[in-house]
Structure 1
């Protein structure tokens, strides 16, 4: 396995025409549909780094900034911003383009964490990434802070799951 890869080697793009079946009652793209696109493009980016199977460990954030109307193009750009031992952080930028005017808007951003899996189905080491552009360096340098926040959130989530348990409200 290569010990290092450039961030650019993980860049992945996806584009789609927003059609009426993809929209809600406001004639804008369903949030869940966009989240599916985000996970899809992020997983491809993660596999480009790992060169093997990956699983989504968390969707750390999806910030919806602007709605995406019907008859716009939605395009997603994903790349690995940072790696740990077996995990990697992926950033996804979502841009909508009015296909009639050409006007573009950043409509959402997202951070996800993926874990690489070995042949045995267990986490396996991933190469480090080398950022080159200002954008890549900024996201790479700020990643450890996001990783710590993820770790704390995961601890709180485990505590909450233990507290809530599996009993249904109507069960004794």
Structure 2
């Protein structure tokens, strides 16, 4: 066997091992990847029941209904479409109507979203990036938060507090 053929075999073997490692990593991560969808995307695209994803938007005013056994029904809207959400458990302290929310779970056959995790924004000036991007894409985002609209800030600004305290 010549030196050139040994080198080619070594490079081919390393490439095969690398491809196998990348394939195993991607396969292992496939169950952990959860995509974000806005209510408009859920309504316009035929999302099959049982698909796991995150939905984000604003909690629709007047939609919050508390039931027995910590069951909560509410609607998430991006002001263009609305998706009914059912959650069983304790909601975050900052969860309320008209505020930004991201819920993770799956779509039920009837079109309702069954959430197993609900995340509320963590202070008055922060909105999850995915929700803000969806609202900006629809032209519903007001820079600076005038007239009750969501205020555009970064997560860093929200966690550091008012600028006068920095």
TM category, shorter: under 0.3
Asked which structure has the greater CA Rg, the reply is 2
Structure possessing the higher relative contact order (Cα contacts under 8 Å, 6 or more residues apart): 1
Instruction: Calculate the TM-score normalised by the size of structure 1.
Output: 0.27
Question: Which structure's residues are more often strand, by fraction?
Answer: 1
